[in-house]
Structure 1
Amino acid sequence: MKRSVFIELCENLRVLEKKDTPLRKAISLHKRVAIALYALGSSAEYRTIGNMFGVGKSTVCEIVLEFCTQTWKHLSLTYMPSFPLTREKVSELVQGFEAIGFPQCMGAIDGCHIEVHPRSEDATDYYNYKGWYSTILLALVDARYRFIYINVGSQGRCNDSQIFESSTLKTQLEKCPYLDEMRTPVSGVDVPIFIIGDSAFRFSKMLMKPYAFQVSQNEDEKNFNYSLSKVRRVVENAFGHVKARFRRIGKGIDNQIQNANIIIKACFVLHNFLNERNDSINDKWISALQIVERNRQYPHQEISANDRENNAEIIRKGLATLFTERAAVDVEGVGDSQSLKGVADS
């Protein structure tokens, strides 16, 4: 984090400032923020962090929790204020995905497992399919890797689709009138605004997912799946950036389970705060995260059944036709350029 951004963050969190007492001087605001950021950005124990900053272990714990609580309270209103959706916000989100080749899409959705240490009486609920304990973060991400919506706290045994079906995100999307109002024709089909997800989600006109894999898949389906998977990487990359930047998330939260949610939420709103300021991510952080990810097996997401919807299928076919036409133009363009190159060489 740049010094100027750090100072700005401190100004936004003036509520953390404490007054001196007759018995002792208060820890300064800048030091409190620095302790919290160091704790979130590393996987060091609180005792080690306390020794580095000259404070006690319990003080570090208190500062981190207060920092996370106030960060979410004060920054989420500015840096994650997407709902209820306005026409201008929907238009901005759609333009972002159109720029990278996917029309009428306003966000990519996915779930992320974060390792936690639940209480023994709750452990069964948090035990995921690959044999470790996790909480699930369901998130909707825009084309700039910003988190539009997050749902934190579901137990590791849950499925992404189950979480989405019962989430406020689905309710907000169903209530938003602009998704249908802003329809546009694509290959002869009126396509509304939608979000995209992987095969774990239930297919509908508001959520496009890939065609099921088949050995003899036609070109339209292949091109649709390729285009969707290429664009859906924004949500996977956004998760990677958060985990690389805040290693307490990437390597697993060792705090008590009741405090895990606020820590996770604070890290994700801080990611948006830094994203707005084009704060860079060190390549070494990404490399270190990849090593951790390779050593950890992730739960297999079950494909939802009974998700065939006629209207949604018509929309998906229209999009698939568009991507096939684009692919044909690209191939033709490559062929023409190679022919011109041959003429030039001769």
Structure 2
Amino acid sequence: MPGDRRYHPWFHDNLGCDQITFLELVAWFRTAMVDFYHRASNHSFEKKLVVLLYFLRSQGGYRETSAAFGMSKSWCVDTIAAFVRSTEPYLIFNVLEITTAFTTGDPSLNVQAVVDASLRFMYVDIRPGSYSDKKTWKASTFGQSIQRRMPIGCFIIGDAGYTLLPWLMTPFLPHKKGGILSKLQKNFNYKHSSSRMVVECAFGRLKERFRVLRQP
């Protein structure tokens, strides 16, 4: 199937990528999953990757994915889990640290993302939901190193959850309850908010491609 132009719409609609990207993913996962790739199986490695991408693309969970490919639900769970585990050594954050820090037992997450003007994710850090935006920033590699890397005259734009820094620009806030901002400050906040909308657009596009993220 890969390489046949007739299937290009199918790849785009069901997997969220074109065939060239799919083959690049096959090559990457083969390197990351050598033992899994050579394991005896009735299904090709390519088909297993298709199952993973279909699962990420849909909102129907394991039940829909297993029905779409005529596989058992348990097989889909094991296959998808194997792919996910293979990516853990490449993550910049510690998955075990995150999962053991759910202080209330509620598996919520605080995701800090840095996005450029082209909707590209330049950096992502994930912490337990008990972390505030400020705490996540301080704990992240990006927050600890950006001061040394930021060119003079350039700034990161952050929302009100972050602390104003020489290299991190945040909106104006009234100092007191019911306080009033000046016209100049309101105009700044408007432009600041408009510029920051690129982050919302990037997350919107991410959730459109990986619809599994829409699930509560």
Partner amino acid, structure 2, of 1:203: L
Superposed displacement of residue 20, structure 1: 6.4
What residue in structure 1 maps to residue 207 of structure 2? 243
What residue in structure 2 maps to residue 68 of structure 1? 84
Superposed displacement of residue 73, structure 1: 5.6
Q: Rg: which structure is higher? A: 1
Q: In structure 2, what is the Cα distance between the partners aligned to 1:20 and 1:125?
A: 37
Decide whether the 8 Å contact of 1:139 with 1:149 is kept in 2.
yes
What residue in structure 1 maps to residue 147 of structure 2? 174
Deviations 1:68-91 (A, max 9, x none): 3445667x7xxx9xxxxxxxxxxx
Aligned ranges 1:227-238 → 2 under 5 Å? 227-238=191-202
Superposed displacement of residue 9, structure 1: 2.3
Residue 62 of structure 1 aligns to a residue whose secondary structure is helix
Residue 198 of structure 1 aligns to a residue whose secondary structure is coil
Residue 125 of structure 2 aligns to a residue whose secondary structure is strand
What residue in structure 2 maps to residue 18 of structure 1? 37
Q: In structure 1, what is the Cα distance between the partners aligned to 2:23 and 2:87?
A: 14
TM-score w.r.t. the length of structure 2 is 0.74
Decide whether the 8 Å contact of 1:143 with 1:234 is kept in 2.
yes
Partner amino acid, structure 1, of 2:194: K
Aligned ranges 1:298-337 → 2 under 5 Å? none
Q: Closer, same or farther in 2 for the Cα pair 1:173/1:59, shift >3 Å?
A: same
Decide whether the 8 Å contact of 1:18 with 1:26 is kept in 2.
no
Instruction: State whether structure 2 residue 121 is matched by structure 1 residue 147.
Output: yes
Deviations 1:85-105 (A, max 9, x none): xxxxxxxxxxxxxxxxxxxxx
Q: Which has the higher contact order (CA 8 A, sep 6+)?
A: 1
Residue 18 of structure 1 aligns to a residue whose secondary structure is helix
Instruction: State whether structure 2 residue 30 is matched by structure 1 residue 50.
Output: no
Q: Closer, same or farther in 2 for the Cα pair 1:47/1:125, shift >3 Å?
A: closer
Q: Closer, same or farther in 2 for the Cα pair 1:58/1:172, shift >3 Å?
A: same
TM-score w.r.t. the length of structure 1 is 0.48
Decide whether the 8 Å contact of 1:18 with 1:27 is kept in 2.
no
5+ residue gaps, structure 2: 1-16, 93-98
Q: Closer, same or farther in 2 for the Cα pair 1:147/1:69, shift >3 Å?
A: farther
Superposed displacement of residue 125, structure 1: 5.2
Decide whether the 8 Å contact of 1:139 with 1:147 is kept in 2.
yes
Aligned ranges 1:1-346 → 2 under 5 Å? 1-15=17-31, 16=33, 18-19=37-38, 21=40, 25-70=41-86, 122=102, 124=104, 126=106, 134-152=108-126, 154-176=127-149, 179=150, 182-183=151-152, 192-213=153-174, 216-252=180-216
Superposed displacement of residue 232, structure 1: 0.5
Deviations 1:113-139 (A, max 9, x none): xxxxx89x956153xxxxxx5211111
Aligned-pair identity (%) = 30
Partner amino acid, structure 1, of 2:138: E
Partner amino acid, structure 2, of 1:196: I
Q: Closer, same or farther in 2 for the Cα pair 1:42/1:124, shift >3 Å?
A: same
Q: In structure 1, what is the Cα distance between the partners aligned to 2:211 and 2:163?
A: 32
- Coordinate RMSD, CA, aligned: 2.8
Q: In structure 2, what is the Cα distance between the partners aligned to 1:216 and 1:52?
A: 57
Q: In structure 1, what is the Cα distance between the partners aligned to 2:77 and 2:59?
A: 13
What residue in structure 2 maps to residue 262 of structure 1? none
Residue 173 of structure 2 aligns to a residue whose secondary structure is coil
Partner amino acid, structure 2, of 1:3: Q
Q: In structure 2, what is the Cα distance between the partners aligned to 1:174 and 1:125?
A: 35
5+ residue gaps, structure 1: 81-117, 127-132, 184-191, 253-346
Superposed displacement of residue 162, structure 1: 1.7
Superposed displacement of residue 216, structure 1: 4.4
What residue in structure 1 maps to residue 8 of structure 2? none
